[in-house]
Structure 1
Amino acid sequence: MGCWIAESTHTRETHVPGTSLLDDLKASPATQEQSTHLKRDKNGIVLVPQPSDDPRDPLNWPTWKRELAYWNIVFATSLVGAIGPLIAPGFVQIAKEFQVSVNKVAGTNAALVLAIGAAMIPVSTVAIKWGRRPVYIWGAAFLLAGSIWSAAKPDLDNLLASRVIQGLGMAPVESTATATIGDLFPVHQRGMRVAVWGLSLLGGINLAPIVAGTIISTIGWQYCFWTIVPFFALSLIFMILFLPETAYDRAPIANSLSTSTGDIAASEDEKDEKGFSEQVEDVNAIEKQDGYLPAKTVWQEMLPWSGYVNKDPIWKIFLRPFLMLFSPATFWCFLTYGIATLLLVLVSATNSLIFSKSYGFTSRQTGLVSISPLVASILMSLVAGYIADFLATFMARRNKGVFEPEMRLLLMIPYAVLVIAGYVGWAVSYRNHDHWMVPVIMYGFVNAGQKFLSTASVTYIIDVHREQTSEVQACVNFLKNVISYRIGTEINGWVVGLGIEQTFYVLAGISTGIALTTIPMYHYGKRCRAWVSRNQKLFAL
C-alpha cells in the first residue's frame, strides 16, 4: 500500500484504469529498460496517454493550436459563469420595478438552471456521438440569441423565456469542457489547465455582479445583457475559427508492462509492489499504424461538423451518464464538486438580500462585494493548479514512479480549512455586527477554498474516467441543476426564515461533510476503480 492508498488482490494482479507509469526513473530496472522508447515531455515525464502517430490526434497538434482551442474554452466558460448571476445584484430593485416578490424575480434564474439541467444529458449525448465542436457552436449561438432577447424585451415574461434559452446555451460548456481538456493535454499537465478553467468559471460568476451592479443602479438591468452581447458574438466567431474537433477515438491500451517479478521483488515493499507489472497502465501499447488520413485542412476544421461519429448506438450513449452514477468516483464528485458549487451559486444569488438586509447596500454596492472572491479565485487558481501538477509527479516518485489519481485529493485539505473558516466567520461577523469588510473577506475565503475543491475533483474524474468524462460531468451537472432549480425558487425565503447567521452555520456543516467524504475516497479509491473495471457491464451497456 503506497501513500496510504489501499490495495487488494484485484489491484495487485490486474490493471486498474487510471494507474499510470509517470516517472520510470523510479521504477524497477526492467521497467526502465522496456520504457526507453516511450514518448515524453521536455522534462522526461512519460506522456499519459501516449500520443498516437496520427496527425489528427489532438495530442499531436502544434502547441499553438492546442492553446487556441483551450483558451477558446476558457473564454466561453467565463461568459457562461457571468450570465448566470448577471442581474442577481438587482433582484430587489427589479422586484420593485415589476411589483412582484424577490422570489419571483429569482425564479428567472431558477428557470435558467432548470434549462441547463434539462439540456445536460442530450447535449452530452450529441457531443459524444458527433463530436464536441457542433454543440459548442450551437451553445454559443443560443447564448447570443438569448441575451439579445433579454435586452430587447425588458419585461418579466420575456426575461423568464430568454433565460431558458440562455440556460440551453450554457449546457455544452458545463457538460463538455473538462472532456475537451482531457482531449488536449496529458495527465501531468491537466492540473493547471483545470484550475485556470475553474478560475474562468468562478471569475465570470464574481466579475459579472461587480459590473452589473453599477449598470443596474445607473441605466437599468436590461443593459447588463446589451453589455455582454458583443462578447457572446466574439465567442461564437472564435469557436468557428479556432476550435477544431477534439474528440478522438484513441486505440485501446493494453494492460501490462512486462516487468519481471524478480525486479519488483527487489523493491522496499515487496507486498505492495507485487503484481506491479499488471496494475500499471501500459502507455507503450499503442503501436505505429499505417494508413492514417492526412491532417485536416483549415477549411475542413472550420466546418460545423467534422465528420466525427462515435460507433456506439445513440440510445446507449444517452443512458450512460445515469449509469455512471454507480461509479464511486462519480458519486463522490457529485457530493463534492456538485454540492459545493451549488452552495456557492446560491450564496451569490442571495447576496442582494444578505447585504441589503445587513448593511443596507444598494445594487451597485452589492455588486462590488464580488471583488473579494474574484481576487481570491485568481490567486488560488494559480496555487491550486501548480500544486495539482506538482502532486502528480512528486507523489508518483514516492510511489516507485507510479501515479494514482487519488494523489490529487490532497487538495481537499486547504479546501476544508478555507471554506469552513469562511462560512463560520461570516456567521460570527453577522452575529457581532462586524464591519462589512469582514463578511466580504470571508466570501473571499469561501471562493479560495472552492478553487482547491474544483481542481481536485475535476482532475480526479478526468484521470479515473478518461473516456467517460463527458458522461460524468453531464450526470453531475444534471443532478446539481435539478436540485438548484428547486432551491433557487425558495432560497431567499429560506434565508429569511432560517436567519442569516444560521444559514451560514448550515453551509459550514455541509462543507465539513463534503470534506470528510474525501478520506474514504482517498484510501479506497483504487479498490473502487478496480471494482468499476471488473463490472464494466454496469456502465457500458
Structure 2
Amino acid sequence: MSGWKYAFALSRHEVSAATPPGTARLLVEDESASRPPSSDSLIRFPLPSEDPADPLNWAQWRKFALLLVVSLYSFCGNFLSSSIAPALQLWFKTFPTEVNILFLGASNIWWVPCSNIFGRRPVLLVATLLMTAGTIWCAVSTSYNSVLVARLFQGIGAGASESVAPALVGEVFFVDERGRAMAIYTVFLSAGSLIGGIAGGYIGFQLGWTYIFWVGVGISAACFVGTLFLVPETLYDRVVSPIDPGLGSTIDEKGMESHVEDSRSQIMDYRPYTYGRSLGFTHYRGNAVGNFLAPWKTLRLPGTWVVMFHYAGLVGGIVTISTVGPQLVAVPPYLWGSNVGLINVGGMIGTILGALYTYLLSDAQLKKKARASGSGLAEAESRLPTMFLSLFIATSGFFVFGFSGQYPSKNGWVGLSAGFAMVSFGLMQLPSVGFNYLIDSYQQHAGDCFVMVTIMRAIIAFAWTFFVAHWVEEKGTAEPFGIFGMLMGIFSLLTIPLWLFGKRMRIATSKFVEN
C-alpha cells in the first residue's frame, strides 16, 4: 500500500520493517565456519544480471573510464560558462553570460527524455558535438549577436553534463560505490567554473579573449572523442531487484568476493557483448509524449523539491560570486588587474576539502547505518546527515562574502576568498549526496528528477546573475548576498523533515516510483 495517510499512520516498527524503493539490504551476516559470526558480507545492490551487457557487470577499468569522461564533460561545461568573466571585467555589459547559464540547465527538458527514448550514448555524442561546434562559433565570432547565438548553442550542448551524465554514474555503480563515484564527478563539476575563473583572466589578458574559447574547443573536442570511444550505452532494461535477495555478489569485510545462488534465478542465454552492441544506436523506446511529461511528474516526489532548492541556491551563489568577485578585486583598494581570477583559489580550496569530506563519509555512512540497524538494511536517508555541516558552512559563506565585499580593506580579499570557499564546500555535497539520494530513492526516475533540478538551477542562477550586477552597484554586496544567504538557510532547513520522515515519504509515494 501507499499514500500519505497510510504512511504516516504506520508505527515506528512498521516503518523500520518496510522496504519501499530506496531501501536495500546492503549487509548480510556471514555464518561460514571460516569467519567469525560477527563479520558481515556486503551485498552488491542492485543485483546484476548474468548479461555481459549489464553495466553493473563491466570491468572496473571500463567503469572508471566512463566516469572520467562524463566528469570531464561536466568540467568543460562549467569552464566554458565561467572562464570569460575575469578576462573581461565589464563582461556583463559587453558579452552575454546569462543566456549560457539559462540554457545550460533548461536544455535538459529535451536531453533527458531523448536519452530515455534513444539511449544515453547517442544523446551524449550529439550534446558534446554541439558544445564543440558552439565553442568554435564563439571563437570565430566578431559581433555581439553572433556570440549571443553561439553561447546559446554552447549552453545547450553542455546541458546534458548535469543530468544525463550523473544518471550514467547511477547506472554503472553499485549503491555502496555511488557516493565515491559521485564525489569524483562533483570535483570536476565544481572545479570547472573555478579553474575557468582562474585561467580565463591570464589567457584573456595575455592572448586575447578569443583564445579562451579556443582552449575550450580543445577540452570540448576531448569530451566528444572520449564519449565516442570510451562511453558504451548504459541504458539497460533491468528486472527490479528484490529488497531481501537471496543471491548476488557479496563482498566480505576483507574485500573477498563470493557468489550466492538463488533458487528463483533462471538460466538464460544472453548474446555476447560485442563492440557493435555497446554502441547503443539500436535503442528506441518510443512513447515520446510520456517521456517528455515524465520529468514534471517527479514533482510529486518530495526529494526532488529538496535537492532542487539546495542545488539551485548553491549553484546560483557560486555563479554570482564568480561574477561579482573579479569585479570587486579589480577596483581599489585591490587593483589585481590580470590576477582577478585568483579570487577563485578560495573556491578551489573549499572544493578540495568538500571532496575529501564527501569521499570519506558518504558511502561509509551508508554502511555504518546498515550495520547499526541490525537488519543490514540501508536507507536512502542515511547519507543526509553528511549534508548538515556543509549546508551550515555554505549558508554562512554568503554572509561572509557579502559583508567582506561591503566593507573593503587592504586584507578584505581574505574574507571574499573565505566566503567563496565556504559556499564551494557546500556545493560539493549536493551531487555527491543529494543526487545519490534521488538515484537511491527513485531509481529509474532519477534522470527525470535531474531535469527538474537543473531547470530550477538554471532559473535561479539566471535570475541572480541577471540582477546582481546592478544590485551590487546600487546597494553594495551585503544586501544581495545577505538575502541569498537567508534563502539558502530556508532551503537548508528542508533537509530536516526529509531526514526524519523521508522513509515515510518514500512509502507514501512508492506507487509513483514502482509504476
TM over 0.5: yes
Matching of residues 88-487 of structure 1 within 5 Å: 88-94=85-91, 102-103=92-93, 105=95, 108-254=96-242, 287-297=265-275, 299-301=276-278, 303=279, 305-310=280-285, 313-357=287-331, 359-362=333-336, 364-400=338-374, 401-434=376-409, 435=411, 436-487=413-464
Give the RMSD, CA atoms, in angstroms: 2.6
Instruction: Give the distance between the partners of 1:507 and 1:284, measured in 2 at CA.
Output: 53
Instruction: Give the distance between the partners of 2:162 and 2:484, measured in 1 at CA.
Output: 24
Equivalent residues of 2:311, 2:457 under 8 A apart? no
Query: Where in structure 2 are there 5+ consecutive unaligned residues?
Result: 1-6, 34-38, 247-260
Instruction: Give the distance between the partners of 1:223 and 1:416, measured in 2 at CA.
Output: 37
Q: Structure 1 vs Structure 2: percent identity of aligned residues? A: 24
Relative to structure 2, which stretch is displaced further, 387-396 or 494-503? 494-503
For 2:304, give the aligned amino acid: T
Instruction: Give the distance between the partners of 1:11 and 1:195, measured in 2 at CA.
Output: 30
For 1:455, give the aligned amino acid: S
What secondary structure sits across from 1:45 in the alignment?
strand
Pick closer, same or farther for the CA change 1:362–1:222 going to 2, 3 Å.
farther
| Structure 1 residue 64 corresponds to structure 2 residue 61 | yes
Equivalent residues of 1:332, 1:517 under 8 A apart? yes
Q: CA deviation at 1:7?
A: 8.6
TM-score of the aligned structures, taking structure 1 as reference length: 0.84
Relative to structure 2, which stretch is displaced further, 12-21 or 457-466? 12-21
Q: CA deviation at 1:403?
A: 0.6
Match of 1:78 in 2: 75
For 2:109, give the aligned amino acid: I
Deviation sequence 1:464-517 (CA, Å, 0-9, x none): 111111101011112221343344332211222332122222222222212211
Pick closer, same or farther for the CA change 1:501–1:521 going to 2, 3 Å.
same
Pick closer, same or farther for the CA change 1:216–1:477 going to 2, 3 Å.
same
Instruction: Give the distance between the partners of 1:7 and 1:178, measured in 2 at CA.
Output: 35
Runs of 4+ in structure 1 over 6 Å off: 283-286
Instruction: Give the distance between the partners of 2:317 and 2:378, measured in 1 at CA.
Output: 32
Q: CA deviation at 1:191?
A: 0.6
Instruction: Give the distance between the partners of 1:347 and 1:192, measured in 2 at CA.
Output: 27
For 1:315, give the aligned amino acid: V
Q: CA deviation at 1:350?
A: 2.2
Pick closer, same or farther for the CA change 1:24–1:374 going to 2, 3 Å.
same
Deviation sequence 1:221-246 (CA, Å, 0-9, x none): 11100122122222211111111111
TM-score of the aligned structures, taking structure 2 as reference length: 0.88
Q: CA deviation at 1:167?
A: 0.8
For 2:474, give the aligned amino acid: G
Equivalent residues of 2:347, 2:420 under 8 A apart? yes
Matching of residues 498-537 of structure 1 within 5 Å: 498-535=475-512
Equivalent residues of 1:210, 1:364 under 8 A apart? no
Instruction: Give the distance between the partners of 2:340 and 2:167, measured in 1 at CA.
Output: 35
| Structure 1 residue 8 corresponds to structure 2 residue 10 | yes
For 2:414, give the aligned amino acid: M
For 1:313, give the aligned amino acid: N
Equivalent residues of 1:52, 1:286 under 8 A apart? no
Q: CA deviation at 1:104?
A: 5.6
Pick closer, same or farther for the CA change 1:452–1:7 going to 2, 3 Å.
farther
Q: CA deviation at 1:84?
A: 0.9
Equivalent residues of 1:84, 1:109 under 8 A apart? yes
Pick closer, same or farther for the CA change 1:361–1:316 going to 2, 3 Å.
farther
Pick closer, same or farther for the CA change 1:433–1:491 going to 2, 3 Å.
closer
Deviation sequence 1:273-316 (CA, Å, 0-9, x none): xxxxxxxxxx979724412111123x443x4x431233x61211
What secondary structure sits across from 2:163 in the alignment?
helix
For 2:316, give the aligned amino acid: L
For 1:528, give the aligned amino acid: M
Match of 1:278 in 2: none
Query: Where in structure 1 are there 5+ consecutive unaligned residues?
Result: 26-31, 37-41, 95-101, 259-282
For 1:87, give the aligned amino acid: I
For 2:146, give the aligned amino acid: N
Instruction: Give the distance between the partners of 1:66 and 1:285, measured in 2 at CA.
Output: 30
Q: CA deviation at 1:362?
A: 4.7
Q: CA deviation at 1:16?
A: 0.7
Relative to structure 2, which stretch is displaced further, 370-379 or 205-214? 370-379
Q: CA deviation at 1:196?
A: 1.2
Pick closer, same or farther for the CA change 1:453–1:124 going to 2, 3 Å.
closer
Aligned length: 485
Q: CA deviation at 1:153?
A: 1.3
Instruction: Give the distance between the partners of 1:84 and 1:109, measured in 2 at CA.
Output: 7
What secondary structure sits across from 1:20 in the alignment?
strand
Deviation sequence 1:125-147 (CA, Å, 0-9, x none): 11111111011111111111111
What secondary structure sits across from 1:378 in the alignment?
helix
Relative to structure 2, which stretch is displaced further, 452-461 or 466-475? 452-461
Pick closer, same or farther for the CA change 1:359–1:132 going to 2, 3 Å.
farther
Pick closer, same or farther for the CA change 1:77–1:523 going to 2, 3 Å.
same
For 1:474, give the aligned amino acid: V
